[in-house]
Amino acid sequence: MELKEQVRAFITSNFYVANPAALADSTSLLDSGTVDSTGMLEVIFFIEETFGIKVDYSEMVPDNLDSIERIANFVSRKKHPA
């Protein structure tokens, strides 16, 4: 399964998403109300457990975690550093 698909599957199955097909990869999960601050901890736990990476406190920012696309890009960078 592609990285974005795994993230999307987690988000849509663990949080209320009225219309999963309408949730764009670039939609802000926080601004849209899909995920709240507590839910973000669940997202971080999912990332660490599923992909075997550690999310440092300094990396817990919207640029890394606020959309399906950003999460997938973050995981990719962590798994394959330049």
pLDDT in tens, 38-77: 999 999 999 999 999 999 999 999 999 999 999 999 999 9
**Residue ranges per domain, the chain?**
3-17+24-79
pLDDT tops 90 at residue 1: no
Contact predicate 67/74, CB 8 Å: no
Query: Which pair of tokens denotes residue 34?
Result: 């899909």
* Span between the terminal Cα atoms of the chain, in Å: 23
CATH superfamily of 3-17+24-79: ACP-like (1.10.1200.10)
Token reading at 75: 């995981």
Report the predicted TM-score, pTM, of the whole model to 2 decimal places. Answer: 0.93
Give me the amino acid identity at 21: A
Using CA atoms, how far apart are residues 59 and 15, in angstroms rounded to an integer?
22
Residue 82: what pLDDT? 76
